[in-house]
Amino acid sequence: MSEEHPELAGPDFSKGIPIADLAEGGMILGQAGGEAVLVARSGGELLAIGAECTHYHGPLAEGVLVADTVRCPWHHACFSLRTGEALRAPALNPVSCWRVEQRDGTIYVREKLETAARAARIAGHGGPESIVIIGGGAAGNAAAETLRRDGYTRPITLLSADDAGPYDRPNLSKDYLAGNAPEESIPLRPPEFYADQAIELKLGARVAAIDPKAREVKLIDGAGHDYGALILATGAAPVRLAIPGSDLPQIHYLRTLADSRALIAAATAARRAVVIGASFIGLEVAASLRARGLEVHVVAPEAHPMERVVGREVGDFVRKVHEERGVVFHLGTTPASFDRSHVTLQSGEQLDADFVVVGIGVRPEKMLAEQAGITVDRGVAVDAYLETNVPGIWAAGDIARWPDRLSGEKIRIEHWVVAERQGQTAARNMLGARERFDAVPFFWTQQHDLQLSYVGHAAKWDRTDIDGSLPAKDCTVTYREGGGRKLAVLTIGRDRDSLAAEIELEDTIVP
């Protein structure tokens, strides 16, 4: 700890540390010039970057070093140790870099280096005439940013049906809803970012149709936009309940910032909420509303929450965590009707409810693709490069079904990090990179003090192996198919194991 900056951990690298303290493939957390710095030794080279992830400030020193990169333990962003660049979402901004000197067996961190703009991968004049992106969510925003970062200089238009600019959607059911994260933390970028990047961001701009022959999109207000190439990133929309009372104003869904704001407003004046659905969103909402002091009841048809994704044992454990914090479950039943102050269940039971949140899954927004003659197969069908069957049109995020080499199946996944990484890959491929989308899927969920991290994809499995203890919130759950092949790994309290599993699964992908 330094005397000048007692809040920073580790040695002061400007005063030097013995080289013997840093083994090959190792990292040391310390400080320089009042900032937390990570010094790593990779391939004999010494490299120094900022120690805090630019996503949610995760501790990179607790991550994993892979060649000349480091992966964040919290949500698996990846940074270059050479340039500080955020190579993989969910981090979008680089970390700082420092010059390292080695003298007389001692390592010193010297001055901070100017983050050199990454060498553009394409010539400034290359790529399509113009690019239109439909959808201002995870995939659309990541695509727009990547196009500019990779040197594309021609017009980019980002059309979003939402009234708000791109924002941190996962937080809408977590800290923001719980009242623990301010609204300022929700936008992914400040408003001026898009103008500075010459990205024309049009909000409240819902696209009504695509004309692939004329290479034009039409907005619902009649305005038209020509495109040289197009990315479809329209995401998914909540499945709506159609039972008596479902159009009452106290029945809420959660997909947008406006939805989350409406929930917060409802929660402020309420005592008791009913959540329909025991999936991730339903349970995150339940946890956040408990954090606001509401009485919360969860209604769902399954006997074990989240069983389809995490299995029975983990599902039952999650239920227990919720029950310990006062959430009441009504499982094996569904709502039959709503009125202004009650939910009536199929079982006949009546629950008091000042408001209701329905989280029973989403459907991909594929209507535009269908109308444009793009092949649709339970999502928008794309090839390994995320291109659709219509030349010049790519798709990314919750709508895209792609050939996943890890599982050997065509899959569509609703994860934030997958959507951002697909947006990045689609953007690079529009500029000619010819990069397969091979990222191992990753998602996390936060409920009360429980974070689950999940890598891989197991639509179904034959066996689960649990290493460690669920009650101690310290375990690794491996999902395997009959032959023993590892399909996915869930961890609680073991972030490094989650990264190790990601790396192991990556290594099984046959090039």
Ligand X SMILES: Cc1cc2nc3c(=O)[nH]c(=O)nc-3n(C[C@H](O)[C@H](O)[C@H](O)COP(=O)(O)OP(=O)(O)OC[C@H]3O[C@@H](n4cnc5c(N)ncnc54)[C@H](O)[C@@H]3O)c2cc1C
Check if the beta carbon of residue 423 is closer than 8 Å to that of residue 379.
no
Q: Is residue 281 at the binding interface for ligand X, with CB under 6 A as the rule? A: yes
Choices 41-49, 66-74, 100-108, 169-177; region in contact with ligand X by CB under 6 A? 169-177
Which stretch in 32-40, 71-79, 125-133, 448-456 sits in contact with ligand FES by CB under 6 A? 71-79
The rounded distance, in Å, linking the Cα atoms of 104 and 3 is: 25
Q: From the list ligand X, ligand FES, none, which binds 50 (C-beta under 5 to 8 Å, kind-based)?
A: none
414 contacts ligand X (rule: CB under 6 A): yes
* Residue 150 in contact with ligand X, rule: CB under 6 A: no
**Torsion angles phi and psi, residue 237, rounded to 5:** -125, 145
- Least distance from ligand FES to the Cβ atom of residue 28, Å: 19
Q: What are phi and psi of 276, to 5 degrees?
A: -100, 115
Return the residue matching tokens 């941190």.
168
For the CB of residue 54, give the shortest distance to ligand FES in the complex, in Å. Answer: 8
Q: Which amino acid is at 496?
A: R
Which phi and psi (to 5°) does residue 329 adopt? -100, 140
> Interface with ligand X includes 145 (CB under 6 A)?
no
Query: Under the criterion CB under 6 A, does residue 162 sit at the interface with ligand X?
Result: yes
* Residues 35-64: x where in contact with ligand FES by CB under 6 A, - otherwise, as a string: ------------------x-xx-x------
Task: Examine residue 85 and tell whether it contacts ligand X (CB under 6 A).
Answer: no
**Residue 267 contacts ligand X per CB under 6 A:** no
Is position 77 an interface residue for ligand FES (rule: CB under 6 A)?
yes
Per-residue burial over 38-67, b = 16 or more CB atoms within 10 Å of its CB, e = otherwise: bbbbbeeebbbbbbbbbbbebbbbebbbbe
443 binds ligand X (CB under 6 A): yes
Is 90 an interacting residue with respect to ligand FES (CB under 6 A)?
yes
Q: Is 30 left (phi over 0), alpha (psi -120 to 50) or beta?
A: beta
Name the one range near ligand X by CB under 6 A: 46-54, 65-73, 121-129, 164-172: 164-172
Q: Which of 96, 160, 425, 498 binds ligand X (CB under 6 A)?
A: 160
Residues within window 378-407 making contact with ligand X, judged by CB under 6 A: 397-398
CA distance 181 to 301: 32
State whether residue 78 is helix, strand or coil.
strand
Of 28, 50, 69, 75, which one interacts with ligand FES (CB under 6 A)? 75
Q: Give 443-490 as a DSSP string.
A: EEEEETTEEEEEEE--SS-SEEEEEEETTTTEEEEEEE-TT--EEEEE
Whole-angstrom CA distances from 235 to 162, 204, 228, 368 are 12, 15, 22, 12
Q: Is 12 in the site for ligand X (CB under 6 A)?
A: no
Nearer to ligand X, 32 or 230 (CB): 230
Residues 75, 76, 82, 86: what is their CA dihedral angle, to the nearest 10 degrees? -60
Cross-strand pairs, 423: none
Q: Judged by CB under 6 A, does residue 492 bind ligand X?
A: no
Q: Which residues bind ligand X (CB under 6 A)?
A: 134-140, 159-162, 169-170, 172-173, 206-207, 233-235, 254-255, 281, 365, 368, 397-398, 414-417, 419, 443-445
Residues that bind ligand FES (CB under 6 A): 53, 55-56, 58, 72, 74-75, 77, 90-91
